[in-house]
Amino acid sequence: MTVLVASDLDRTLIYSAAALALTMPDARAPRLLCVEVHESRPLSYMTETASGLLTDLGDAAVFVPTTTRTRKQYQRINLPGPAPEYAICANGGHILVDGVADPVWHARVLARLADECAPLDEVRQYLAATSDPSWVRKHRVAEDLFAYLVVERELLPEDWVKELAVWAENRGWTVSLQGRKIYAVPKPLTKSAAVREIARRTGAELTLAAGDSLLDADLLLAADRGWRPGHGELADTGWAAPAVTALPERGVAAGERILREFLKECR
């Protein structure tokens, strides 16, 4: 039986130094493996134990990294184990096949966005008009598909994200707050749609998934079984679904537990 495992990366399987501090503030320091370097600096980590588990998983299933990162940001990551044949970037905007974006899939995504939601420029203009330079550090556009802000969380007005979410909802967009980033993403741009396409291509009979943020909710709902860690946007809001297990573990310990659960199902 072919098993497809689609997992979010950041704060699910891999962690920045800041995320480690937030999710495991009092834990004994685990042995870590650096899996991402940017501008000659180590940026993301997983535990050595998780590294071994992911290597085993790559031999047991079709492992598909499934991320909101752009293609360039994803390609900075060097995961242990066999190189994935498929990867999903830009929240489903791109399917990579052996590292190369599939143009047919991307064209299908663009057609859906044009038909089903407000244009990116309208969202960018709203973000620029309503945000404040006192707490916004960067305005970014990812792959000409969605926008995000890098903010100072302690200065962010309490109701601003809620007001943005209401405005975006009426225009076919979703808002997600993850660490220091506020994402505005078109509703038709989903990880689940890309995962279904890969499941079709591979003939997968069982799909497993994991993720921690609101942008992972559709992915978890589309899977036969899913897991979410004890930290993150979904945990903070108490999000639950019948086929999704809410784990008590937080931080890199949750990453290890998720990989163990994947392997258990594969075996």
SS3 105: helix
pLDDT of the residue at 18: 80
> Does the domain at residues 118-186 carry the CATH identifier 3.30.70?
no
Give the integer Cα–Cα distance in Å for 226 and 236.
17
pLDDT of the residue at 163: 97
pLDDT along the chain (267 residues), means of 10: 97 90 66 93 95 96 98 97 96 98 98 97 98 97 98 94 97 93 97 98 98 96 97 95 96 95 95
The reply to whether domains 3-110+188-266 and 118-186 share a CATH topology is no
Q: Which CATH superfamily is domain 3-110+188-266 in?
A: HAD superfamily/HAD-like (3.40.50.1000)
pTM (2 decimals)?
0.94
pLDDT of the residue at 19: 81
Give the integer Cα–Cα distance in Å for 231 and 247.
9
**Ranges of each domain in the chain:** 3-110+188-266, 118-186
Token code pair at residue 149: 């802000």
pLDDT of the residue at 209: 98
**Cβ neighbour number for residue 20 with a 10 Å cutoff:** 19
pLDDT of the residue at 25: 59
> Is the CB of residue 57 less than 8 Å from the CB of residue 81?
yes
